[in-house]
């Protein structure tokens, strides 16, 4: 089914995780290109600061503090967008909880928090966004964030890669349902490198490919206007899947070795 999405200047975009580096970069880029933006995350102070900055430049922006791991909060986000702008055309899920360490080191609380944000939050947001697009009867875009680890496992962000894989499977199944029902919804799964996680600094020291948040944001902006199923930002798609697998696995080994040498403790970080 051919889907024609609006130009960015004609769109209202919801951005979850708007206080993260990727969320901030996406909001600034979208607003500069003429989009109206609704910003949301759990960090109310950061949202106010970003919204104030955008408004000072004459960009239409509003914000609502919310936790997408709570279904009632996701409803609140959608209602705020409709109340303020009358609709939304693109929903970007860029919230993320990253866990750095071995599977055996992760606490149950860490794992619950990670899956609640990374997986359940994606489910709630996806369902509400698609319901809105279906009710309006016009094309819309849903952009979910996963990671390169969702394609191939590695040895260091093991807990995170499990939730990333769940997001990938959910998004693939959701896309199949949308196609079956012939709904005009573009569903994109973004596979970025974890450029804003605790192990970013280690990656830089080893000179592996780490893309800045702006590179991820550019791909989000592209997906908001051009239907595309998957976009890999970190490890580029290869004609040689074995080599690509080795690249991702090798990166994990490098980071793992560096952390173990420094005897760094298990870490978690929210990008919300």
- The residue range of the domain holding 58 is 8-271
Is residue 250 scored above 60 in pLDDT? no
Nearest-angstrom CA–CA distance, 162 and 100: 12
Is residue 246 predicted with pLDDT exceeding 60? no
Residue 57 forms part of a structural domain: yes
Q: Tens digits of per-residue pLDDT, 54-101?
A: 999 999 999 999 999 899 999 999 999 999 999 999 999 987 655 556
Domain-embedded: residue 65:
yes
Q: Per DSSP, which regions of the chain are E strands?
A: 12-16, 36-41, 61-65, 90-93, 96-100, 140-145, 185-191, 230-232, 267-271
User: Average per-residue pLDDT in the chain?
Assistant: 79
Task: Transcribe 70-118 into DSSP letters.
Answer: SHHHHHHHHHHHHHHHS--SEEEE--EEEEEB-GGG--HHHHHHHHIII
Percent of the chain scored above 90 by pLDDT? 53
188-232 pLDDT, tens digit per residue, is: 999 876 544 434 443 444 344 456 788 889 999 999 999 999 998
Number of structural domains the chain divides into: 1
- Is there a domain that residue 196 lies in? yes
pLDDT of residue 232: 85
CATH number at residue 259: 3.40.50.720
Determine, yes or no, domain membership for 20.
yes
Q: Is residue 2 part of a domain?
A: no
Give domain status of residue 125, yes or no.
Answer: yes
3: in domain = no
At 104-137, the pLDDT tens digits run 677 777 777 767 667 888 999 999 999 999 999 9
| pLDDT reading at 16 higher than 50 | yes
């Amino acid at each position: 089914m051919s889907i024609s999405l609006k130009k960015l200047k004609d769109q209202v975009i919801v951005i979850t995780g708007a206080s993260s580096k990727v969320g901030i970069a996406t909001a600034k880029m979208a607003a500069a290109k003429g989009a109206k933006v609704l910003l949301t995350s759990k960090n109310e102070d950061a949202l106010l600061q970003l919204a104030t900055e955008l408004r000072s430049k004459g960009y239409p922006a509003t914000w609502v503090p919310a936790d997408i791991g709570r279904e009632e909060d996701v409803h609140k986000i959608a209602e705020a967008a409709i109340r303020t702008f009358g609709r939304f055309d693109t929903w970007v899920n860029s919230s993320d909880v990253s866990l750095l360490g071995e599977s055996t080191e992760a606490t149950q609380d860490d794992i619950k928090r990670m899956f609640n944000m990374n997986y359940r939050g994606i489910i709630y947001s996806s369902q509400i966004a698609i319901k809105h697009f279906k009710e309006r009867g016009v094309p819309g875009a849903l952009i979910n964030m996963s990671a390169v680890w969702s394609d191939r496992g590695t040895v260091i962000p093991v807990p995170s890669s499990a939730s990333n894989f769940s997001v990938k499977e959910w998004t693939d199944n959701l896309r199949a349902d949308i196609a079956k029902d012939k709904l005009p919804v573009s569903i994109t799964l973004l596979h970025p490198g974890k450029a804003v996680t605790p192990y970013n600094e280690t990656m830089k020291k080893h000179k592996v490919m780490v893309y800045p948040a702006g590179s991820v944001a550019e791909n989000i902006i592209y997906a908001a206007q051009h239907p595309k199923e998957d976009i890999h930002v970190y490890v580029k798609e290869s004609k040689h899947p074995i080599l690509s697998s080795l690249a991702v696995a090798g990166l994990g080994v490098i980071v793992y070795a560096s952390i173990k040498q420094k005897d760094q403790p298990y870490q978690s970080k929210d990008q919300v």
